[in-house]
Amino acid sequence: MISLFLAVLLACCGTLGASALEYPDPYRILYETNGGYIEFYKQEMWQKGTTLLLTNSKDLTGDLVIPSEVDGYRVTAVYYDFWSQEYGLLFSDLASITFPGTMDSLQEPYTPDDQAFPDSLRKIVVLEGVGRFGTARFRYLEEAHLPASIRHIPEEALPWRNENFTIYAPTDSGAHRYAVEHGVNFVAEGDPPVLFTDISGHWGEQDILWSFRNQLLMGTSETAFSPEANLTRGMLAAVLYRLVNEPDKEVENPPEIRFDDVDANAYYYKGACWLKFMGIADGEGNNRYRPNSNITREELAAMLRRFTMMVTEDKNANPTGKLDEFADGGKVQSWAKNAMSWAVGQGILKGDEKGRLNPQGLATRAEVAAILHRFELQRVY
């Protein structure tokens, strides 16, 4: 009965272009486009409200642009689930797909070996905003245009053994790193304009550019980065939150994960709440975070170690570095010794030209950019 209804519905609509069509199942929407239709499934999300999963399609051809929203609902995923017989875009004849920046990831399949995309696909374009690649597999691509917001790409996601395959992405992005590591053809595309007038010739220039292009540390104005200014604890909360692509599950921030001295309107509010929720930062007693205080190098090491233990696969973050090799290694406070030893052992934290760690010294924005760059390069996802 439903099949007959769909046939009549599609025949009546003809080739009117892209349009959204409701049909009897209240949780599903049909979207006509590219000679066929896409089926979206409405998913009730606690913090996001109702979002759409792209679950099925029929008769699609050519170059598909997946809409960012349909009928006022945001599109957040392409989904394949064998057990529910949801096939994503698999049975289509598409040459290219453009994914909207509203998507959480490119694919969240039932198992990593499932496939939601057709073998005919030769090009993908992913718009800025998509935070994760997910476990999508694109076996026959010739080009992938990827944003800076995707910081990690799984090993087998792209056909890197194909010598004709090219990645187009911002310099120093996760896609650029993937291309370098796998010997893939790379073309710089989408680099944000750098207008900073105070970083040319600075020792941390490349690290600063990396942190800016990856949208972790932004400028203090349109033309200044302020590399020698100190980084505050509020700034670090925002940076670490961006590093994990701002997860939405803590958006509502219930009272138990708020700090009393963090204003709900502050740009670092969600970051500070997330740090508390994850156990990365417990504050300074009396439920206070001190967001406007400058962060010391040993405080930074401690947060990064806890971040590693809570977010990545390294649940121990073993302290292997030798602090006594530094002139002031003995000045590291007892609570920070394991964190500083870990940071030194990982090559994240290095001594200055006089062989000092300067553990109680205030971390500058340039130092944090360099530390974050080293941290990202060694981090286990």
Lowest mean pLDDT among 1-5, 239-243, 349-353: 1-5
Q: What's the pLDDT score for residue 178?
A: 92
The pLDDT assigned to 250 comes to 46
- CA–CA gap between residue 269 and residue 130 (Å, rounded): 22
Tokens of 92: 């289509």
How far apart, in whole angstroms, are the C-alpha atoms of residue 345 and residue 336? 14
Structure confidence by residue, pLDDT tens digits, 116-155: 888 999 999 999 989 888 888 898 999 999 998 888 888 8
pLDDT of 16 higher than 90: no
What pLDDT is recorded for position 213?
86
pLDDT at residue 191 greater than cutoff 90: no
Using the predicted structure, report yes or no on whether residue 330 has a pLDDT greater than 50.
Answer: yes
Q: Is the pLDDT of residue 3 over 50?
A: no
Supply the mean pLDDT for the chain.
Answer: 85
Q: Given the structure tokens 């709900």, which residue do they identify?
A: 264
**Which is more confident, 133 or 340?**
340
Q: Please give the pLDDT value at position 351.
A: 86
The reported pLDDT for the residue numbered 14 is 39
The predicted pLDDT at position 188 comes to: 94
What pLDDT was estimated at residue 381?
A: 42
Amino acid at residue number 233: R
For residue 280, pLDDT over 60 is answered with yes
Instruction: State the SS3 of the chain.
Output: CHHHHHHHHHHHHCCCCCEEEECCCCCEEEEEECCEEEEEEEEEECCCEEEEEEEEEECCEEEEECCCEECCEEEEEECEECCCCEECCCCCEEEEEEECCCCCECCCCCCCCCCCCCCCCCEEEECCCCCECCCCCCCCCCEEECCCCCCCCCCCCCCCCCCCCEEEECCCCHHHHHHHHHCCEEEECCCCCCCCCCCCCCCCHHHHHHHHHCCCCCCCCCCCCCCCCECEHHHHHHHHHHHCCCCHHHCCCCHHHCCCCCCCCCCCHHHHHHHHHHCCCCCCCCCCCCCCCECEHHHHHHHHHHHHHHHCCCCCCCCCCCHHHCCCHHHCCHHHHHHHHHHHHCCCCCCCCCCCCCCCCECEHHHHHHHHHHHHHHCCC
pLDDT average, residue stretch 358-364: 94
d(CA 36, CA 14) in angstroms, rounded, equals: 10
DSSP lists the bridge partners of residue 204 as none
How far apart, in whole angstroms, are the C-alpha atoms of residue 279 and residue 252?
17
Please give the average per-residue pLDDT across 51-55, as a whole number: 90
- Rounded Cα distance between 11 and 270, Å, is 48
d(CA 56, CA 277): 36
| Percent of the chain's residues with pLDDT above 90 | 51
Question: Helix 233-243 to helix 269-278 angle, to the nearest 10 degrees?
Answer: 70
Residues 168-183, mean pLDDT to the nearest whole number: 91
Structure tokens at 185: 């053809």
Residue 1 has pLDDT above 90, yes or no: no
Question: Residue 344, Cβ neighbours under 10 Å: how many?
Answer: 23
DSSP lists the bridge partners of residue 75 as 52
pLDDT higher for 227 or 81? 227
Which band of pLDDT confidence, cut at 50, 70 and 90, is reported for residue 380?
Answer: very low
- Calculate the CA 75 to chain-centre distance: 17
Using CA atoms, how far apart are residues 213 and 192, in angstroms rounded to an integer?
7
Q: Which of 29-38, 131-140, 257-266 has the highest mean pLDDT?
A: 29-38
Would you state the pLDDT for residue 99? Answer: 96
What is the distance between the alpha carbons of residues 273 and 83, in angstroms, rounded to a whole number? 37
Least confident of 23-32, 103-112, 309-318: 103-112
Residue 54 has pLDDT above 50, yes or no: yes
**Nearest residue to 331 via CA among 361, 295, 300:** 361
C-beta of residue 297 within 8 angstroms of C-beta of residue 363: yes
Mean per-residue pLDDT, 236-260: 74
Q: Which of 182, 212, 215 is nearest to 198 (CA)?
A: 212
The CA-CA-CA angle for residues 70, 76, 78, to 5°, reads 100
pTM (2 d.p.): 0.75
Please, which pLDDT band fits residue 10 given cuts at 50, 70 and 90?
very low
What integer pLDDT is reported at residue 19 of this predicted model? 59
Residue 186 has pLDDT above 90, yes or no: yes
CA nearest 57: which of 87, 26, 81, 34? Answer: 87
Average pLDDT, integer, range 38-64: 86
Contact of 71 with 20, CB cutoff 8 Å: yes
| The residue type at 365 | R
pLDDT tens for 58-89 read 999 999 999 999 999 999 988 876 666 678 88
Q: How confident is the model at residue 173 (pLDDT cuts 50, 70, 90)?
A: confident
pLDDT value for 48: 65
